[in-house]
Structure 1
Amino acid sequence: MTVQVEIWTDINCPFCYLGKERFEQALTAFAHRDDVEVVHRSFELDPTLPADESGPVIAKIARKYGISEAQAAANERGIGAQAAELGLPYLTEGRDYGSSFDMHRLLHHALAQDKQDELLDALYRANFAQQQSLFGNHERLVEVAVGAGLDESGARAVLADPDAYADAVRADEQEAAQLGATGVPFFVIDRKYGVSGAQPSTVFTRALEQAWGDRQPLVQMAGGADVCGPDGCELPTRD
């Protein structure tokens, strides 16, 4: 008996980076953590970005929200302070942005290799804590993938084929829309409970406990009557 947690995220999203850590803190303390299955789903904050477009994050934020670059920089410092409270490294300046589609394709490849969580952590670190850009840089992506335990030839093959796992990424994004997700991180537990945003760990703890309580085995009130099973229907014994 397991609880499934699906998490829609984007590597461009700093709150996804923080939210993953807060969720994992809750999961680590959860009594039934070994019975929780976590699957990461794809969500692009800007699916219209060309693969070859990138630029400074602060300038991008300022344009998107109609604020000054000074205000955008202050926002980045605020996120950096939140990251520091969680023990996460975070560059508050010098980062860039770009299309994350290739990264999501690699994450689906990693899922098939049972390395998805490791690769997501590595991509977050590379994007938020390291200076060298990930965007439009296949060599850098291969380096990160290999560091996360993936086979180099397999990662190169995925990146060389623009159709590899592309349908899986788009299917995740369509499903997110059907579930009503307009932003990330978005957590769905057993397709019954939704948690939106980088919530405090206590919120995730309550959600996990509620989901686990709903998964308790059925209490059988009566038995022994006539039933049908895989081998057919047993005729009742007549006295």
Structure 2
Amino acid sequence: MQIEMWGDFTCPWSYLTLRHLRRVLADFPHRDEVEVTMRPFFLDPAQEEVTDMPWVQSLIENEDMQPAEALALRDRIMALGRAEGIRFDLDSMILAPGTAAFRVLVQSHIAAWEAGENTGSDTLVLKFADAIFRTRFEMGSNIADPEVIIGCAQDIGISPQDAVFALSDPATADDVWSQYQLAMHMGIDSVPTLLFDNTFVLQGMQTTTALRHACDTAWKHARSRKEQ
């Protein structure tokens, strides 16, 4: 079974959903036959540099939120994170684009195939994505900084040489943008979006219960098609 997840490294809902998905897959009886592909999406494709303002202020100025509404959203995300063991530090977060990190994500897919670690909940792809989310949302690091990205890659078993190559290779950058443009062509306009076996689509932040049900349904559907 295949699961494709479109997410943005700047999106807290993508982080929460990734954590939920990994938890579900860890308990899924057929996890060794489930391949998860994470694909890039950009909520703000025009952002190329670090935005020098607090996250709450960015919501007020760029999303037309009232101050009370933005603060309520911050508190809600932090509460949801605490329930998952995620210590969101949204007040200290650096608003950096995730474009460069996605270039190494592309490399992590290659590394996962070469290492035979492309199925289940603990693949190089999922671990790298989790590491980038964590370093942005919990540690307050700049995920556009090559040293930060390379450090995340090295921490989960991707060689620093492969990470450096991904960050410098124009073909990898083209691949990232091609995947984003494909998402737009498919009509994906929000993240997270998950596609199960090219059949079932879920959009928005998903709970573990919803993802467990989706995995069970997609697996049964895939088996029934095989038997026909």
TM score, norm. by length of structure 1: 0.83
Question: Does 2:68 correspond to 1:61?
Answer: no
Alpha-carbon distance, 1:219 to partner: 4.4
Q: 1:68 to 1:151 in 2, by over 3 A?
A: same
Which residue type is aligned with residue 190 of structure 2? Answer: G
2:155 aligned to which of 109, 132, 147 = 147
Amino acid in structure 2 at the alignment position of 1:191: N
Instruction: Give the TM-score, by structure 2 length.
Output: 0.87
The correspondence of residues 209-220 of structure 1 with structure 2, limited to 5 A, is 209-216=216-223, 218-219=226-227
Whether 1:205 aligns to 2:212 is: yes
Spell out, residue by residue over 1:121-142, the C-alpha distance to the aligned partner (whole angstroms, 9 max, x if none): 110110011023223x222222
What secondary structure is seen at the aligned counterpart in 2 of 1:167? helix
Contact 1:77 1:92 in 2 (8 A): no
Q: Can you list the C-alpha shifts for 1:76-129, whole angstroms capped at 9, x where unaligned?
A: 121010011112221131112122111111100111111222211110110011
Match of 1:224 in 2: none
Q: Unaligned stretches of 5+ in structure 1?
A: 221-239
| Aligned match of 2:135 | 126
> 1:10–1:44: 8 Å Cα contact kept in structure 2?
yes
Aligned-residue RMSD, C-alpha: 1.8
Which of 84, 94, 97 pairs up with 1:96? 94
Q: Which residue of 2 aligns with 1:24?
A: 22
Contact 2:96 / 2:142 at 8 angstroms: preserved in 1?
no
Q: Which runs of 5+ in 2 are unaligned?
A: 113-123
The 8 Å contact of residues 22 and 198 in structure 1, kept in 2 or not, is answered as no
Q: Name the SS for the 1:54 alignment partner.
A: coil
> Which stretch of the first structure deviates more once superposed, 210-219 or 186-195?
210-219
SS at match of 1:96: coil
Alpha-carbon offset, residue 69 of structure 1: 4.3
The answer to whether the Cα contact below 8 Å between 1:118 and 1:148 also exists between their aligned partners in 2 is yes
Aligned to 2:174: 167
* Equivalent residues of 1:105, 1:164 under 8 A apart: no
Name the SS for the 1:77 alignment partner. Answer: helix
Q: Which structure's residues are more often helix, by fraction?
A: 2
Q: Take 1:91 and 1:53, find their aligned partners in 2: how far apart are those partners?
A: 17
1:100-111 alignment runs, 5 A limit: 100-111=98-109
Which structure has more strand as a fraction of its residues?
1
Structure 1 residue 191, shift from structure 2 partner: 0.7
Determine which structure has more spread, i.e. the larger CA radius of gyration.
1
Percent identical? 27
In the aligned structure 1, how far is the partner of 2:30 from the partner of 2:46? 40
- Cα deviation, residue 68, structure 1: 3.9
